[in-house]
A and B are shown apart, each in its own frame.
Chain A
């Protein structure tokens, strides 16, 4: 029986340590990992927990991230609770197996500590890896600080393992900005946390020898399409379970999560839509603008990147005049992915606010309060005249001549 750990009501943890503690409390059967910066401390800390008798499960060192996720798939198909962590290049090497995991409906939890993708090599935070996972069939939850990295891990197990979901889930946090930033975190006790997550219920586990099953069957055009459609439906419908788990979590802790978080949107005229730690910085900028300049600014943040909260975005942005959607990943030859998705949501409404796109923070480039305020003010400019006064896609915080693309063809 694993030892329990006494935790203080308030701890000062960084995002990695918070995630590792949540994984420990989940009492996972198998963690297979190939550590990579900035996610290394998650599995390093977890390994120490195993070695020191705080976990009954297995910690498997493998030869690559492809091997890590493959081991997770095998262990999950065998019938165990399974998790791991990765970042950036490691994530890219896992991608092939991510699709296997979701296609086999294995509720693996993957902590993705977001980091830029080479080349050029960079260990800092941007959302390139998170975006690379967006078609992989996983639930993707996004934490904006260390407390949320802890909370969302607990929720992720409960969401992924629900009999109506049975899909793997990623918990994202920003490399360094969240993963290596220590802040006040209020954890649950080991018993409370485990009770919230519950025992793992295996489904179609390969280690049940009385019910032999095949995982990873081949299907051609006669079956493949139906299976993928069913999987897509499961992910689309998972919002019901996500909402329920968030409600139960609030009941337990008082901390409220929504698939789309919104701040000061009740009367907002302009808004920033963003992901990650940027959300909080933008909130502070909006607060200061409201106080000092009377600018009615608000912030919208998809807590749940997948399933994408299409209708919730429609609802929360319906009365806004101008929206800036911030993508922390270089879209390389297109508009930002978050911009495209938010725009698609709003295009199918009658309000159709002005929407522009900012690329920012690549490779960990600082995003300051002043950067956020500049974006808000620019939105106010669009709102006042009723059309887009800048290029539609701009680069924030970039050295050199101003870089931007495309003009609006909408009539004033």
Chain B
């Protein structure tokens, strides 16, 4: 599985599938480097462009745990960032306050993003894991009318 952006290194391996090295090769003091090499001013570097090291959990995927997934509909989204704020797995990819999509390598399919989406219809909806995004978008519901009181 690859990330949504071409430079993305997320999901390069399954969790626990790394080469298990011997006692003489483990890191000093269990100190784990987040990145390979020096990264100046990391806060200004987009996550998918950071040289995450294999020790960083960013490079491990938990995607197969998911049975239903959120699908994102760009046409309805108002870029309110609610889903970005609420996602417990930082799996909403947003750049300059514009939604780009879902990080399916780390999304566990909890559905919180759908719950907090304020648009009508929602810009994020849960579909079966195997459902192709195009088919999902084709089935998107219509705007609901306000019920008269």
Contacts and interface: CB of A to CB of B under 8 A. Distances in A.
Contact count band on A? 20 to 34
Contact of A166 (B21, B29, B41): B29
A385 interface: no
A42 B62 CA distance: 52
Interface centre among B20, B28, B30, B39 (most CB of A within 10 A): B30
A386 B24 CA distance: 46
Given A209-B42, A222-B16, A230 B31 contact: no
A192 interface: no
Interface stretch (A57-65, A211-219, A361-369, A375-383): A211-219
A229 B30 CA distance: 12
A406 interface: no
Contact of B31 (A214, A222, A226): A214
A231 B28 CA distance: 8
Interface stretch (A102-110, A281-289, A310-318): A102-110
Interface in B7-34: 16, 20-24, 26, 28-34
B38 interface: yes
A210 B40 contact: yes
B29 A204 contact: yes
B28 A212 contact: no
Contacts of A166: 28-29
B28 A226 contact: no
- Which DSSP category, helix, strand, loop or mixed, fits chain B's interface? loop
A204 B55 CA distance: 15
A227 B24 CA distance: 9
Contact of B33 (A105, A213, A233): A213
B88 to A, nearest CB: 19
24 contacts: A105-B28, A166-B29, A204-B28, A204-B31, A209-B42, A210-B42, A211-B33, A211-B38, A211-B39, A212-B35, A212-B39, A212-B42, A213-B32, A214-B31, A214-B32, A215-B31, A217-B32, A217-B55, A219-B30, A227-B23, A227-B30, A230-B23, A231-B29, A233-B23
Interface of B: 16, 20-24, 26, 28-35, 38-42, 55
- Chain A to chain B: the 9 pairs with minimum beta-carbon distance, closest first: A105-B29, A212-B34, A226-B23, A229-B23, A214-B32, A204-B31, A104-B29, A210-B38, A226-B26
